[in-house]
Amino acid sequence: MKFIDETRIEVIAGDGGNGVASFCREKFRPFGGPDGGDGGKGGSIYAVADRNINTLVDYRYARLHKARDGENGRGADCYGKGADDVHLRMPVGTLIVDEISGEVIADLTEHGQEALLARGGEGGWGNIHFKTSTNRAPRQKTEGKTGERRELRLELKVLADVGLLGMPNAGKSTFITAVSNARPKIADYPFTTLHPNLGVVRVSHEKSFVIADIPGLIEGAAEGAGLGIQFLRHLQRTRLLLHIVDLAPFDAGVDPVKDAKAIVQELKKYDESLYDKTRWLVLNKVDMIPAEERAKRVKDFKKRFGWKGPVFEISALTHEGCQELVVAIYDHIATQRQGEQREDETPGMAEDARGISSIDPDDPRFKAVE
């Protein structure tokens, strides 16, 4: 299946049916009065998150989605039938944006989540509603309202805990194959990966996390070089970024420090919040460096790169150091999850250095009433 992570669609909700002006003509009801029914409601259009879908390919070729109009009312107090709503199934992680206003309509982050894209028009009133003691034969009626119409942009951002960054052939695909159930294409030429790959990493029977591999970046990606930066959006939901560096490139003229700095610059050009996300440095292919030179080369790289954060030395091919990295990743993610859970359970409360909960003085809910 072709991977599509961005497309544009147009949604048109159904119009409401018109009300009708009608009068009772039955034989034994000479003063039957008005009996015009209301029009039916137009169909609305909803987006539904479905974890069984992983691409927006269905919406690349089907751009227009329209709901049916409601039926018009009829005489004898007959109301028009309302149209059925339309439900568009989309992958979990889809961001829906109004193309005209730029407003974010919905962010589908959970399976089964629904979002209203276009509301159907309400049906018009029949003359039965306008009968009064002084107006016993009303001929007023109203027309149904027009359904909403929107042009939308769909962006798929995969849901993963960890994202991989690096130059082409840095070993990202080999690494995700070594630690997860993902089986991306691996070859000895650049840009083997053409679309994001997701893999589940099992630390134990009950402990796991999701890792995402995107196509490699090169210098000038922000200007469209290589495959560009279009896939970086898939890393915006991650909790941790792994910057994988090829410490032993085949080409002696390639400088790993220069390539690593180029990746960081492209990340900063794309999104400051993504640049500020927690990032670890992973030096790959250490098995190709003689043991007596490894420590010296790692120290030289860190000094020239100016890196002071966590550094891991691994070999994705031989799995050296991979298990230690996986355990460290899970511990980091588990700590973040626990922190988020505490914030959700005790809003407006803060813990002091002794771990004792206290009221946050800046929380507006705890301000004294003057």
When pLDDT is averaged across residues 60-74 and rounded to a whole number, the result is: 91
Q: Is 93 contained in some domain?
A: yes
When pLDDT is averaged across residues 233-254 and rounded to a whole number, the result is: 80
CATH number for the domain harbouring residue 17: 2.70.210.12
Task: Examine the fold and report which residue of 156, 171, 194 is the final residue of a domain before the chain moves on.
Answer: 156
- β partners of residue 12: 66, 149
The predicted-structure confidence for 288-313, as pLDDT tens digits, reads as follows: 888 888 888 888 888 888 887 888 88
pLDDT, position 189: 46
Beta carbons within 8 Å of 235's beta carbon, 6+ residues apart: 160, 163, 165, 212, 214, 241, 274, 277
Q: How far is CA 309 from the centre of its chain?
A: 29
CA separation for the pair 190, 192 (Å, rounded):
6
When pLDDT is averaged across residues 73-101 and rounded to a whole number, the result is: 90
Residues 150 and 223 in one domain: no
Q: Which residue has the tokens 């400051």?
A: 272
Residues 92 and 207 in one domain: no
Q: Is 356 contained in some domain?
A: no
Residue 147 has pLDDT above 90, yes or no: yes
When pLDDT is averaged across residues 105-128 and rounded to a whole number, the result is: 91
CATH number for the domain harbouring residue 279: 3.40.50.300
When pLDDT is averaged across residues 58-74 and rounded to a whole number, the result is: 91
Two tokens at 340? 């988020």
User: What is the separation, in whole angstroms, between the first and last Cα of the chain?
Assistant: 63
Residues 65 and 168 in one domain: no
Range of the domain at 55: 6-156
Residues 256 and 292 in one domain: yes
Q: Is 365 contained in some domain?
A: no
Residues 205 and 324 in one domain: yes
pTM for the full predicted model: 0.68
- β partners of residue 312: 282
Q: Is 370 contained in some domain?
A: no
Residue 71 — very low, low, confident or very high, per pLDDT cuts 50/70/90? very high
- Total count of domains within the chain: 2
pLDDT, position 364: 42
Residues 218 and 299 in one domain: yes
- What is the chain's mean pLDDT, rounded? 80
When pLDDT is averaged across residues 249-254 and rounded to a whole number, the result is: 76
Residues 269 and 325 in one domain: yes
pLDDT, position 363: 44
Higher pLDDT, 348 or 71: 71
Q: Is 358 contained in some domain?
A: no
Q: Is 369 contained in some domain?
A: no
Cβ pair 305, 265 in contact under 8 A: no
Two tokens at 38? 């209301």
Residues 213 and 107 in one domain: no
Task: Examine the fold and report which residue of 128, 156, 184 is the final residue of a domain before the chain moves on.
Answer: 156
